[in-house]
Amino acid sequence: MRTLVTGGTRGIGAAVARRLAADGHDLVLGYARDDAAAAHTQAACRELGVDCTTVRADVTTDDGIESLFAAAGDLTGVVNNAGATLHIGTLADTPPDVVRATVDLNLTSALLVARAAVRVLGRSRGGAGGVLVNISSGAATLGSPGEYVQYAAAKAGVDALTIGLAQEVASDGVRVVGVAPGIIETTIHADAGEPGRIERVGPLVPLGRTGRADEVANAVAWLLSDEASYVTGTTLRVAGGR
């Protein structure tokens, strides 16, 4: 098993990487800027006895996606995880360049990473077959009013990607599935401008708390495994009932 995780060095992606390392996956972890986090996650995965390569490559560029997949080589799995909310506010108050950047990162890049993934995994092109997991968000069905409608709309696009692409590549030995996390304890919220979001939203979740990155990682690991061999074209919500 050899799995590429975009945004695999911090937050949910890093938890996925550690969980997959424990399951015996060799890893390729993509990231954008944070070299220290990449080195930290790489060391943690190597300690679990697997091969782990990190690749600094911006998935919002064609060159970045190309260099990431060139470095990855043959794969059996891809976790399409890199993403960010970028900004918190109403759509009317969100600058146009932020709307474009949000859709570019969370939808256009997700589409292009998915495209590259099925080209490397598909048996008709010499791949071994495998699994693509798209990281969506509970926002895709909630719409995120007052917070980031543009991000929710982009993630709804990711859910459509999962449904359509799964049917395109099912006969090529590739399953395409999604995971839609709710509010998970990572720095994504502080980075978008609201460090207290976890404390504000946690009590509104039916399970009474926000989620941990390792709880999302468990779902990703199961979907990548043969235990999910009859699961494709669907998105699993990991959101505490919200």
> Which spans of this chain sit near ligand NAP (rule: CB under 6 A)?
6-7, 9-13, 30-34, 37, 58-60, 81-84, 105, 135, 137, 181, 183-184, 186-188, 191
**To the nearest whole angstrom, how small is the minimum distance from the Cβ of residue 82 to ligand NAP?**
4
Q: How far is the CB of 33 from ligand NAP (least distance, A)?
A: 4
Taking the complex as a whole, how short is the minimal distance between the CB of residue 231 and ligand NAP, in angstroms?
20
Strand pairing class (52-56; 77-80) = unpaired
End-to-end alpha carbon distance in the chain: 33
Give me 48's structure tokens.
């679990």
Q: Which among 31, 148, 151, 230 is annotated as catalytic?
A: 151
Residue tagged 């997991």 (tokens): 133
> Cα-atom radius of gyration of the chain, to the nearest Å?
17
Q: Which is nearer to ligand NAP, 122 or 181 (CB)?
A: 181
Query: What is the four-CA torsion angle of 166, 163, 183, 196, rounded to 10 degrees?
Result: 110
Please say which residue, 110 or 122, places its beta carbon nearer to ligand NAP: 110
* 148 catalytic residue (yes or no): no
Q: Which residue lies nearer to ligand NAP by CB, 4 or 120?
A: 4
Q: Map residue 143 onto helix, strand or coil.
A: coil
To the nearest whole angstrom, how small is the minimum distance from the Cβ of residue 235 to ligand NAP? 11
Percentage helix, strand, coil for the chain under 3-state DSSP, each rounded to 5: 50, 15, 35
The CB-of-143 to ligand NAP minimum distance in angstroms stands at 14
Query: Given the complex with ligand NAP, which of 172 and 218 has the nearer CB atom?
Result: 218
Rounded CA-CA distance 178/198 in Å is 23
And the tokens for 211? 């989620």
User: Of 59 and 122, which CB lies nearer to ligand NAP in the complex structure?
Assistant: 59
Is the C-alpha dihedral spanning 32, 135, 239, 20 positive or negative? Answer: negative
Rounded to whole angstroms, how far apart are CA atoms 28 and 52?
6
**Catalytic (active-site) positions:** 151
